[in-house]
Amino acid sequence: MTRLLRGLGLLLLAGFGLLAFTPLPNYWHARTAVAPRLEPADAVVVLGAGVSRHGVLGSHSLRRAVEGVRLYHLGLAPRVLLMGPSRRGGPTEASVRARLARELGVPESALELEVRGATTRHEARLAWERLGGPGRRRVLLVTGSFHMRRAQALFRRAGFEAIPAPSADLDPDADQPLARLALSRGLIQEWLARTYYRAFGHL
């Protein structure tokens, strides 16, 4: 028992050292990241990432929303679908993002909101209900670089041709220990999520 515990402790220290003080997480991210392909599409779809109860967008949510607006202004798609539910009775993430998009010059007529998506799989299904159909399959998918592989697979499964337009949620070239740990956390979390989705046949 004691030897096992010491072994676990040593493993933890080694893992901490590798993830915080070596470029291992940067290589890992480079291997799993999906490169952006900015091409014309029928719509831009911006996946949810969280909003506070008081209507403050999380940093990932904000980055994704801004990326969606940028793609619209580049003329790559005529419409933007903003996603994201509310948290404990606060405003919905989609509505907060829509306000931001309007203030950044996106006309109301180009915006669509979806406030129900609780998981990536759910979001793919809801997006298909709103945007899918003959001749309306091509979407520019905006989500974090970690999340893109899983999201793209789910959107393809829902029927879309999902073109990746990842936003940089975290710095992939991080060289400070804490930033590398944050990068590692994102990678491990997404790896676990992919494993879970595969185990339950969602991917």
Partner 1 sequence: MESIWVLLLAACSSLLLWLWGRYRLRLTPSGLIRALALTLESLGWAVTFYAINLVLGVALTALVRATSGRFLSLYPTADPVLFLLSLLQALLFSWWRRQG
Residues 94-153 that bind partner 1 (CB under 8 A): 118-119
Q: Are 69 and 106 in contact (CB under 8 A)?
A: yes
CA angle 94, 114, 72 (to 5 degrees): 65
Residues 6+ apart with CB under 8 A from 111: 79, 80, 82, 98, 101, 102
12 binding partner 1? (CB under 8 A): yes
Q: Which of 78, 129, 173, 189 binds partner 1 (CB under 8 A)?
A: 189
Is residue 14 involved in binding partner 1 (CB under 8 A)?
no
Under the binding rule (CB under 8 A), the answer on residue 8 touching partner 1 is: yes
Instruction: Please choose, out of 6-14, 37-45, 96-104, 155-163, the segment that lies near partner 1 by the rule CB under 8 A.
Output: 6-14
Residue (32 or 76) nearer to partner 1, CB: 32
Give per-residue burial for 43-69: e unless 16+ CB within 10 Å, then b. bbbbbbbebeeeeebbebbbbbbbbbb
Non-local (6+) Cβ contacts of 177 within 8 A are 20, 21
Out of 173, 177, 195, 198, which residue is the one contacting partner 1 (CB under 8 A)? 177
Question: Any contact of residue 35 with partner 1 (CB under 8 A)?
Answer: no
* Region near partner 1 per CB under 8 A, out of 27-35, 96-104, 130-138, 185-193: 185-193
Q: Distance between CA 64 and CA 149 in Å, rounded?
A: 16
Q: Which positions touch partner 1 (CB under 8 A)? A: 2, 4-13, 20-21, 118-119, 175-177, 180, 185, 189, 192
